[in-house]
Every structure is written in C-alpha cells, then in structure tokens.
Structure 1
C-alpha cells in the first residue's frame, strides 16, 4: 500500500478527531490540512507517516499544539455552537481533551496516546481522569435515544441515567422521534442511522435540528455512510459494537461543545 493510500485510509478518522477536538469542522479540517502540508514540506516527517495511525496523529498533534491557542475565546463570526465551545475551552485544558479523545473516541491505548502527545502513560491516564471530572460538572440534560434494537436502547438508557441525565423519550422510527420532539425538545440526541421501518436516523435528526441547535451523537454500525465528505459530517460518531466508555466520552464532549437544555 502506498503512503498516500495509508494516509487516505486514516484521514476520515483523523478529521473526526480534529472536529471533536476543536468543536468545529472548519477549524478541524484546517489543522488536518496544515498537517498534510507540513508532511509534504518535510521528507523525514513524510517518511514517518508510513508507520500508520500513531505517526499521523503525532504529526497532527505537533500542529495542533502550536495552533490551539488560536481557539481561546469566541472568534468573530463564530456560530452559536462554536462560540459556546470557545467559552467552555476556558474550563478544560486542550491536553485533557486530547488525552480523553485519543483513548476513547480514537481507541488508542494509553501508551499509544502517550507516544502521540509526547508524554508517558501515567500522565495520559491522569489527564483523562481530570477531563472526565471537569466535563461531568456540566448540568444534567434530557436525552432522546433513536435506536431500533431494544437491548441497545436499554443499554443506552442505563448509561445515560447513570451519568445523571434524564431520558425524555426513545424512538425506533423517524415518526416516533417526531412524536417525542413535538412534546419536548431534547438537550442531546443519541441516534442510529438505520431504523426499524426502513426510515433514516439522519432524517430524524434533521427534523430535530430544525427546532434548534441540539448536540447529536450517531451510534451506528455503518460509519462509512456519514464519513463521505459529501455533506457536513457529524462531530460525534461512535461505531457499533461500542464500549460504554466511548459513548460516555462522546456524551461529555457533545455537552461540552453543544448547547443543551437543562432538565426542569
């Protein structure tokens, strides 16, 4: 496999990570582009990328570390979600967010995350613990679960309530999701893509987003349907079968960056 093919295979996931780290597809893609440009200009760096995901993410980290200060404070012209994200950046350090995402959303081991960040495993584990504690201080919110597999839906309900959130409804079809949001707008949505009656979780989410900005986490066995580059891609995408710690991290990040509706 050529170097370009190796990078291309990992690029959708690096872009996903960059979006989650910055809270913005535009900013995330800008740093990914800068990483690739740096590799083209440096033969040693370019050669190292043949080693797979860890060297690619390590190169990204070097660019991110030099650029992350640019994201402190809401930039002029930022959207509501981006402004909220930048305000929240003051309450959690970039390194904490990075360690959390690398070891959960990206499924790197603490040792691999340490290699990427230039730290040791103990430091990474400490950063993850701090990040979880800081993000979990967010206010509780109401959650809509759009999932057509009953056992998975119940598993997600248990996880969500264990984190202190409230279930405002569950839906197995787009129509059921519409019925829930007609009564109450959720503060967070967990959604599958392929639903029971053949309807689309993507369309159900679009219905919800017409009512306002709501953080959404897609949990699906078909991530390639969303990582196409043809339309705005979701920041929070968890692949089935999932680990509960991955969903928990995604929930924390989504509430960290997104506007949420408190329970009450």
Structure 2
C-alpha cells in the first residue's frame, strides 16, 4: 500500500473516531445552547470543520478539541441559553458563562477537572476555585425554604427532620392559620407542607388558598383526611400524602415539587434560600 493509500486509511479511521464523540457533543451542545435544533446545528458545523482540518484530526484527544470548538462557536454568536422554567437550568443560567461551562463539562460530561480546565483555557487552580463557587451557587439556588403547617408537634418534628435531611431549610412550623401566614410573610418560603385539620378549628385548605392568593406557593397536603380535597373539587391545590406516611413519600413529593417548573405566570417554584 502506497503512502497516499495509507494516509487515506488513517484519515478515515480518525474521522470514524471523531464520529464516536457525536452523542457527547450533542448532549453538551444542547446544554450549552438550550435549544436542540441549534445544538445539533453547532455539532454539524464543527464536525464539518474537523473532518477537513488535518491538524484537528491529528489531535490525540479530539473530544476535548471538539468541546472547545463548540464553545468558540457559541462565543462568536454571543450565545446564552434562553430563560428556562426548570430550576436546575435556571440555576446554571445564573452563573457566569465560563463557570456554567466548567460545571457542565465536569458534572454533565464527566470530564476530569484538568481536562475541563484545558477545554476552557483556564489554569487548574482557577478552575478549582470557579467550580467550587459554581457548585455552591447552584446548591443555594436549589435549596428550598419550606414552611410546615401541622398542629401535632411530633409529626411536625418528623417532617422538619426529613426536610433538613434532604438539605432544604425549614423556615418554621405553625399549628394555626394565623401563625402560618405570619411565617410565610416573614420568610417567603418556596414550598409548604400542610395538614388539613389544624388547631383552633383552622383548615389547611384555607391556608393554601390564602397563600395562593398572596403569591404562587406550591403546597403538599399531609393529612389523615386525603379525600377532603377531592370532595370539594380542589385537587388542583396540591398533591396529597395520606397519614400515616413514610419518609420516602415525603422526600419524593418534595423533590417533585422543587424540580417541577413553576405554573405559567407565576414566579419560579424555587428561589435562592433566604
């Protein structure tokens, strides 16, 4: 086989190796742009360039070069992802762009930190600082502040321990409607866990209605009377967990509430913790 044939074979092998990175590139491009069509267009453009540039194809680790090329293409368009109602995406979008990309490369693409730093042209020491700060900011933005409205002290304590065990904050517990509304006004919680039958004859359904009237606030009913909402045609107020409950049920319901996009027209379901 002459040199030209051998060079052609090597080139085909390298192009084949480039194509093996496409699933990863599409995933990163989607996170980078926030738009699947635009992301795929980015991937197509950089692969076209990579397949015609010998110096690109000869790189020992083309995946890192491809990530860098995606970033460069995004920079030429001054691209930032569109606002998202999804809390995780919104938290990432609040980061400086280089920190957002670093977070994505390490947490989404599973690159070692030194490789992610190389893609972004950052010293490793700088990348360590920025990644730690990005993780802190994301964690804070995804920390829910939860109000517990429950007149049974033991159950209220159990709910509070479950909430704190998940890494969220408890802004207070209230056995009555007045106390619940006072705490909500003082701490602006992002989620409320509500019993239906409260002390002094109060009703958690009325608490939920008042909280929604004042501002959108997701609620989860934790009650020994799980049919009461359905009887009144008020299932839209929030999901119901019947007593007795398990911690797994509470944790799953909280996770769904925290990571579900806010209702249209309402503020985000999760905001920075107070």
TM range, smaller chain:
0.3 to 0.5
TM-score, with structure 1 as normaliser: 0.48
Computing the radius of gyration over CA atoms, which structure comes out larger, 1 or 2?
2
TM-score, with structure 2 as normaliser: 0.46
Q: Identify the structure with bigger relative contact order (alpha carbons < 8 Å, sequence gap 6+).
A: 1
